[in-house]
Amino acid sequence: MTSLRRQDFTSDNITGASPQVLAAIAAANAGVVPSYGGDPLSEALTKRASELFERPVSVLPVATGTAANALALAALARPFEAIYCHAAAHVMTDECGAPEFYTGGAKLIGLPSPDGRLQPAQLAEAVALARSMGVHHVQPAAVTLSQASEWGTVYSLAELRALTATAHGLGLRVHMDGARFANAIAALGCSAADLSWRAGIDLLSFGASKNGALAAEALVVFDPALTDELALRRKRAGHLWSKMRFLSAQLLAYLDDDLWLRNARHANQMAGRLAAGLSGLRGVRLALPVEANELFVVMPASLIAALRAERYRFLDWPPPAGVQGPVVRLVTSYDVSAADVDGLVAAARRLSG
């Protein structure tokens, strides 16, 4: 990594891979092993994941989060059924129709909320409406939720259990988009089991690429009845790697010695540091609480332009409900430094004058 101060806060996808992950890939390159997941590293990954989640699980590595999410939803909904999600969910806004394509036409129905978290009552209301319309409406099948959410907020364990209990009571399966699952774990201080199957999650997209992997995500399957179908869907979709050892090696290194949690804790801490530094500047305020590694900040247009003139990078973002003024998104990652954050704060302080 360059010694120059980082000025890019657009995403946690801009980072390189953790050195431990790169070393694991290099080590996996030696010798010959069975293909398509029959290698020792893939077998070790299943064992390690079962230990992490405190029960036997199936693990299906893929290279992208879009593949993980779309394959998961295809196993939970038929073409004439509905999948409920937040209106700003990544599956709704950023995956180019992949869930609809992989499901063969199942409809995503986005439900709004001001903080990125679905509410049990609104889910129940939407399901009741769909069922009252019979054949005229796609019928409810599943819920997908993001943890952490697209607004950087985190479902508490109580909130998560209430939502999944409502979904299961309505006969719906529940998928979690865990692109930032590690950041949510770090924020809550709970176990992976507590934040997944113990909280009512049926199928998890376990993210790693945003938090230190080169290109590795995994479907973690808690219901054995789904495993065979998902394996076939993964192959049919072109996401079964012949050299699976290179995906499994990344995920093993990611979990080894709690690298995933150490990376996430650092990213979250840097987000908190950035939020504290920007708070109190003239015209600057947080649009939402900072609970993971994303900040949504109301900022005067003049300050936005001035920071960009000094080569700071971040994204404009549509304001959440009830928030007035220009909003920008700033994302911290596992390898951003305190000096990087303090540099941005110092520039904002100087330019806000």
Residues 62-95 have pLDDT tens digits of 999 999 999 999 999 999 999 999 999 999 999 9
Tokens of 15: 């980072």
What is the 3-state composition of the chain as percent helix, strand, coil, each rounded to the nearest 5?
45, 15, 40
Distance CA 62, CA 65 (A): 8
Mean pLDDT of 295-317: 97
Which CATH number applies to 19-257?
Answer: 3.40.640.10
Question: Given this model, what pLDDT does residue 353 score?
Answer: 75
- In the chain, the percentage of residues whose pLDDT exceeds 90 is 97
| Sequence spans of domains, the chain | 19-257, 260-352
Is the pLDDT confidence value at 1 over 70?
Answer: no
pLDDT in tens, 320-330: 888 999 999 99
pLDDT in tens, 96-142: 999 999 999 999 999 999 999 999 999 999 999 999 999 999 999 99
Same fold? 19-257, 260-352: no
Secondary structure class of 74 (helix, strand, coil): helix
- From 195, 244, 192, select the one nearest 62 (Cα to Cα): 244
Fold exhibited by the domain 260-352: Aspartate Aminotransferase, domain 1 (3.90.1150)
Query: 249, 28 in Cβ contact below 8 A?
Result: yes
Q: Tell if the pTM clears 0.75, that is, is over it.
A: yes
Question: Given this model, what pLDDT does residue 321 score?
Answer: 85
pLDDT in tens, 169-215: 999 999 999 999 999 999 999 999 999 999 999 999 999 999 999 99
